[in-house]
A and B are shown apart, each in its own frame.
Chain A
Amino acid sequence: MTLLRGLGPLSRVYLLQAVRSKTAIFWNLVFPLVWLFLFGFVFGRGDPLVISALIPGLFTITIMSSAFFGVSYVLVMERETGILRRYRVTPVSPLVIVLANSCRALAMMLVSLLIQGVVAWLVFDIRIAGSLLSVFAVIVLGAAAFVPLGLLVGSVAQDMRTAPAISNLLFFPLMFGSGAAIPAWMLPGFMQTVSRFIPSSYLVESLQGVMVRGEGLLDLLGPITVLLLTLVVGAGLNSLLFRWESSDPVDRRRLLMVVAALIVLFAAAALLAPSFRMIKSPSEARADSAAGTDATERTLLVGATILDGLGGRVEEGYLLVNNGRIEAIGPASDQKQDLGSDLVDAASVVDLGGKFVLPGLIDSHMHIGGSGGGMASAAEMAPTRFTSSLRGYLGVGVTTVVSLTDIPSHMRDLAERVDDGAVMAPRMLFAGASITAPGGHPAARFSTVPGLADQLTHQVSDADEARAAVQRARDSGASLIKLVLEEGAGYEQLPRLDEGAFRAAVAEAHALGLKVTTHVGSDADARLALDAGVDSLQHTPRGLTAETIAALAASGTPLTPTLAVLEGLNKAAHADPFDNVLISRWVDRGIVESLSSPDSWVAQMRQVAGFQLGMEMAFAGAMAATRDAISGGAAILVGSDSGNAMRSVAWRRVRMRTFWCLTSIRPSISLPYASCTRSTSAAIDSTSTLC
């Protein structure tokens, strides 16, 4: 074919030149390694997982720098020195020159990437989630898509003085705006929008898909299509701008056409391409893929100490996971015997030597809508305030939370955002507004923000109002009903929920199929609650008697002592809780300010006579009562009261305490597991219950 005559030899010549030129070798082989070590040692700190996640960005940068600083410069230099002019008086076509340049560029890019990949594998032990074939296909496509863009720069640039300016002007926005240099999920919102308009994002997205998220090419049809179009449109536009000689002017009309075509292409891509998955942080992505159905492969976790939550303990065990479910557990020494060597060989093995495997934990008392602070302002009650702690829960192994007392609409919005994948959270059960007496606990706590108490509580005085409140709670989507029996401790007196109203509410809730949990302040409250048949008790009742403990044990109704909140309040009563650097770092700054302020609720309470002594006694009493309850055979659950003042970091404590218990430091306390199915539950539906 005459149009392509000379393509092979010219491509070979370009390659020969690249191999023989010392500068080309430096820029194509040495320089990419410098980038790799920068990413590996500085950004990735040598961590294989982190570096594996950074590699797609690094590859994109390598491809782009080769396109904008390699391909374009070669074209400009060949034009400037007159080599193209010499080719011009032969029958060789511009197409051959452009294609041969592209072949060389593609080959150099692939060599650079291969070296980066192999060295990353050898030095940093990176892992590739998807198939190598898909990775190769995406790399070739991505490299091919950027070559025409580099050539366009080469055709537009007047000489070697203007070429670097144009290249830099394109390179840096494409690098920083795409998630190549800074992971996309770290970019601010408007930058994530910008990233949809630039081609490099689609390459990062595709590479992350095959390299990090383990996706196949079909999962990435959107970004791959954009890259293909970039290649086709870019290649076509080159024919408009190719120039043989520096003295040939750049056709302005054609340049405008090229720019317009590219703008149309990327605007269409931004509007039509599916949303980037790379904007999710790795932990969010992991949670997603765990929830997805693509985990069909069997995974064998070996070497960990496995605690089954029922008192069983397997040292150096194996745990076979199939499609997201545990299929078998046993000692590692028996795995081949138990499972058969075919299955063991086929499974992907994860070595967990030295680690523990626990069932998912349940925090049976917390407050998603709580601010964790003194609620000095409405801003502190923002519905999103607590979502970062939800992620923290997952991080410490809590997979179910029971939130008691929230604004129902906030909870429904949050549940929607969790379903959309915008927020990562454990499974959430919530009571919505709690039902209490007019002016009773906790309505009194919310008086600092006008109107807040009415959103967070239903204040009822008789049975009819109580039944209506239960129905409203049910209608607002509550998973359970929270009732409050509290007449206040020594330093404050509060109206308690009317007994008739209380009993009516329990009966109504059960009639509607809802479980009931009850805040109990005193022994009398606990007795009433047990008598009315509630499903669980919250907090340690003051003056808990042996009879009540016996009734608890007999009924099997669990008690959540929430000792953590009393411990926290006791500390706060005596001193500024944020004199501890570690705590003040973990807690949201707004909350720290709210609680540290001399006007804060805690600070003011500290001025109340008897407050400190009252809290001291309350905490000591609760500790003693809990001990008695345990020894009396009552079922005890762990509840952190997180979201309550002072308890914003309690989930860390939940883990620590749970872990002590599981490892038999305190064997007498039974603990909640989300995945355990044995006994009945108070607040929780029948599939995930308590031990």
Chain B
Amino acid sequence: MPAIEARGIRKEYDSTVALRSIDLSISEGGVVGLLGPNGAGKTTLVEIFEGLRRPTAGTVSVLGLDPSSQTRQLKERIGVQLQTTALPQELTVFEVLRLFASFYESARPVAEVLEMVDLVELAKQKASTLSGGQRQRLVLGIALIHSPELILLDEPTTGLDPVARRDLHALIRELRDQGRTMLLTTHYIEEAEHLCDRVIMIRGGEIVADGTPFDLVGQSTDSSIIWISVDGEMDPTPLFQAGIEPLGRQGQHHKFSTTDPTATVLALGDMLRSQGLQLLDLRMKRPTLEDVYLELMRDEDVAPDPAEDGSGGDPSEGAS
């Protein structure tokens, strides 16, 4: 049985359509990333799975339960990290965890959770004094307190510094190794690439790509990029004849684009030999998930969110 099964989900708010028609099946185990720009519908989709929102149309089954009617049973079995989590004021880390533990039929010992999210030493500290990363670990601890079968994390790393983010990634990998199913939303592409077993890209309320990061990159039509540095004046004309595109030159540094890197490197070797030049540096870059993402998000005329059209900031952040 899949952890999440969604058929034809549509969600409309007053006049806007947040989700058009989502079909999705997520099997048990592993980390699934929901990737998309702000306003793409990620949070709406996750909140439908959590039972916080009802879809306008379509059917959802989470752990075999209907989130809108079997809410209570479902809540016992899913762990949730909301995009912004307010914590009860004036409480210590330990007290926060103990409170949430009391809401569940069965919960881990608080000490175990503290260990798991590495907050043992901060247990007696007021939750309001934690740093961003510590706070996020506490929030994750709350989501894990009842050993949920499915964990839904909405932008768990947004706003964290790189070290805190790396720590959190390690924690998520650990949970994956324990065999848990996790669905996380993010707009950090490298997070999805490094952390997720499966990436679902969503844009304008629709799924635009779905697969392992490797598959997604492999599907890409993009060329690889090759940089070289040589010890003299190079004439790149022979390369052009072999179908290699020049991207620019700065003195002895050259940049090319190619759809066939192997052929390009061989041709480059031959040419340097014939011109009696020495190769000082050679770099090649395969297309990344970012390239795939940017390509997917760019090529259609998506109406820009009016809130993001202004003079800066990130006003749509946190909007659900």
Contact = CB atoms under 8 A, between A and B. Distances in A.
B85 A82 contact: yes
B131 to A, nearest CB: 20
A89 B87 contact: no
A412 interface: no
Contacts of A16: 90-91, 95
Interface in B38-62: 50-52
Nearest to A81: B86
Nearest to A88: B52
Nearest to A5: B103
A17 B99 contact: no
A92 B95 contact: no
B82 A85 contact: yes
B91 A86 contact: no
A13 interface: yes
Interface stretch (B72-80, B208-216, B309-317): B72-80
Given A89-B50, A90-B100, A90-B104, A82 B86 contact: yes
Interface residues of A, number: 22
Contacts of B52: 85, 88-89
Nearest to B145: A90
A17 B85 contact: no
Given A21-B90, A81-B86, A89 B80 contact: yes
Nearest to B79: A89
Kindly name the residue among A88, A89, A92 whose own CB sees the greatest number of chain B CB atoms within 10 A: A89
Interface string B247-283: 0000000000000000000000000000000000000
A88 B142 CA distance: 13
Contacts of B86: 81-83, 85-86
Interface in A69-125: 81-83, 85-92
B103 A17 contact: no
Kindly name the residue among A17, A20, A86, A92 whose own CB sees the greatest number of chain B CB atoms within 10 A: A86
Interface string A1-44: 01001101110010011001100000000000000000000000
A13 B50 contact: no
Interface in B117-156: 142
B82 A17 contact: no
Contact of B72 (A6, A20, A91): A91
Given A16-B91, A20-B90, A89-B50, A10 B99 contact: yes
A87 B102 CA distance: 12
Contacts of B99: 6, 9-10, 13
Contact of A86 (B72, B82, B98): B82
Contacts of A85: 52, 82, 86
Contacts of A91: 72, 75-76, 103-105
Kindly name the residue among A9, A81, A90 whose own CB sees the greatest number of chain B CB atoms within 10 A: A90
B298 to A, nearest CB: 32
Contacts of A9: 98-99, 102
B89 interface: yes
A13 B82 contact: no
A5 B95 contact: no
Nearest to B47: A89
Interface in A358-388: none
B84 interface: yes
Nearest to B71: A91
Given A9-B102, A89-B80, A92-B103, A83 B87 contact: yes
B75 A21 contact: no
Interface string A116-158: 0000000000000000000000000000000000000000000
A280 B95 CA distance: 53
A10 B102 contact: yes
B238 interface: no
Given A13-B95, A89-B50, A91-B75, A83 B102 contact: no
B88 interface: yes
Contacts of A6: 99, 102-103
Interface in A49-73: none
A25 to B, nearest CB: 11
Contacts of A87: 103
Given A10-B99, A10-B102, A89 B88 contact: no
17 contacts: A9-B99, A9-B102, A17-B88, A17-B89, A17-B90, A20-B90, A82-B82, A82-B86, A85-B86, A86-B87, A87-B103, A89-B80, A90-B75, A90-B100, A90-B104, A91-B75, A91-B105
What are the 9 closest A-B residue pairs judged by CB atoms, nearest first?
Answer: A9-B102, A82-B86, A89-B80, A20-B90, A90-B103, A92-B103, A81-B86, A91-B75, A6-B103
Given A13-B95, A82-B82, A86-B82, 17 more contacts: A5-B105, A6-B102, A9-B98, A9-B99, A10-B99, A21-B89, A83-B86, A83-B87, A85-B82, A86-B85, A86-B86, A89-B75, A89-B78, A89-B82, A90-B75, A91-B75, A91-B105
